Structure 1
Amino acid sequence: MPESLHVVCPHCSAVNRIPSAKLGDAPQCGQCKRPLFTGEPLALGSAQFDRHIVRSDLPVVVDFWAPWCGPCRTMAPTFHQAAIDIEPYARLVKVDTEAEPQLAARFNIRSIPTLAIFLHGREIARQSGATDLGTLKRWLQPHLYKP
């Protein structure tokens, strides 16, 4: 286990170094002093996407979705609950494929919702389609940071 982890702030995108043993102690950003974990999926656009995906030592779970997509809207509360249950062992983010078509194209998103897990900038798992909370958490479990 590494002594410390890099965690990107969901508010100001500063990269913070957090001692591994303190990850579960509600750490705050060294720059903006706000909580590093909010229990909310983080909406990301192109400007912040790479910083969060590449610079974080935590797995980043991305929900590629669109506002017009019925299954996406159905799954939104499930994804939100997963953020509550899983942080700080992964960062959950949402990418609106209508607002960010270049990100959807870059990752070859052909159907939505599509969930992808990234670690150190590399995609390590992908799943398409809406799912229930239990199934989602079982799929995520092997990829979560383990202190």
Structure 2
Amino acid sequence: MNESMHIVCPQCDAINRIPSVRLSEAPNCGKCHQPLFDGHPVALTGSNFQQHVNHNDIPLLIDFWAPWCGPCKMMAPQFTQAATQLEPNVRLAKVNTEAEQMLGAQFGIRSIPTLILFHHGREVARQSGAMGMADIVRWALSHS
């Protein structure tokens, strides 16, 4: 089965069509030629949020955080480590709720950090509170 998947580039936000069997072969973006998976969460803003949520065929795990939040700072390196474990099967992203207050309000973020897992544009699962890398990976895989 050589099904194609749409993957949004973390650098230029272009939508790429990749055969699913090639996901693990470190594919590059057809537009900017940068790696589609680099083991780092993508920074999402009001301008690129919908592109990533609606046009990635793999689950998208978003960390809603703020720079003044102690638990968010503690979880940040754990979340980055989880990206190296979950890619290319799950894309990880971050939304700074201080800078992107409209996104925080749109999704009813009441406490941070909050993780929301999206798949095909829909919220699939939500978890509030800081977690370690292994718990993030386990939680994401159990809901994707």
Tell me the TM-score normalised to structure 2 length. Answer: 0.97
- Partners of 2:58 and 2:64 in 1: how far apart? 19
- 1:29-83 deviation per Cα after TM superposition (whole angstroms, max 9, x unaligned): 0111110001001111000000000011010000000000000000001000001
Could you tell me how far apart the structure 1 residues matched to 2:33 and 2:136 are?
31
Name the residue aligned to 2:65: 65
Match of 1:5 in 2: 5
Which residue number in structure 1 is paired with residue 51 of structure 2?
Answer: 51
State whether structure 2 residue 35 is matched by structure 1 residue 35: yes
- Matched with 2:109 is 109
Offset of 1:2 from its aligned partner? 6.7
The answer (yes or no) to whether the contact 2:82–2:134 under 8 Å persists in 1 is no
Deviation of 1:85 after TM superposition, in Å, equals: 1.1
- Aligned partners of 2:90, 2:2: CA distance in 1, in Å? 16
Distance apart, 1:132 and its partner CA: 1.3
Aligned pairs, number: 144
Deviation >6 Å, runs of 4+ = none
Q: Does residue 29 of structure 2 align to residue 17 of structure 1?
A: no
- Unmatched segments (≥5 aa) in structure 2: none
Question: Deviation at 1:142?
Answer: 2.5
Deviation at 1:120, TM superposition (A): 1.0
Identity across matched positions, percent: 57
Partner residue in 2 for 1:128: 128
Whole-angstrom distance in 1 between the partners of 2:22 and 2:142: 21
* Structure 1, gaps ≥5 residues long: none
1: distance between equivalents of 2:100 and 2:59?
Answer: 21
Instruction: State the alpha-carbon separation in 1 of the partners of residues 138 and 69 from structure 2.
Output: 24
Cα contact 1:59–1:143 (8 A) shared by 2: no
- Output the aligned Cα RMSD: 1.1
Q: Which residue of 2 aligns with 1:95?
A: 95
Mapped to 2, the partners of 1:116 and 1:84 lie a distance apart of: 18
Q: Secondary structure at the match of 2:138?
A: helix
Task: Give CA deviations for 1:60-110 in whole Å, capped at 9, x if unaligned.
Answer: 000000000000000001000001111100110000000000000000000
Give the drift of 1:133.
1.5
Counterpart of 1:117 in structure 2: which amino acid?
A: L
